[in-house]
Amino acid sequence: PSTSFFPSPSCSRSKSHFYFIALPALFKRELQNTEAEEGGTATLRCELTKPKAPVEWRKGDVTLYPGLKYEMKQQGCAAELVISDLELDDS
């Protein structure tokens, strides 16, 4: 998974404007290897340091989107990718 940046309490002031320095959401718990059978379902999980941080799931350079094959779930700091109907290409 890839994470985005969010405003943080750290900021600088210039001519009555505030500029926030964005700190990245980091992995608190990274993805672990998962074993599953062909035709089955696999769930990949990670935990971020910021709740509800936007997550983009990728396989190499390809961005994954929700559909029949992929389901993305996120609750608080936890993010999950569920891959259905597993094939050898999903490894």
Q: What is the pLDDT of residues 58-80, one digit of tens each?
A: 988 899 999 999 999 999 999 99
The burial class, CB within 10 Å (0-12 / 13-18 / 19+), for 54 is middle
Strand ordering across the sheet containing 27-29: 27-29, 42-48, 78-83, 70-75
What top-level class would CATH report for the domain 27-83? Answer: mainly beta
User: pLDDT value at position 53?
Assistant: 86
User: pLDDT value at position 69?
Assistant: 94
pTM: 0.70
Instruction: State the virtual CA torsion across 71, 91, 63, 75 in degrees, nearest 10.
Output: 40
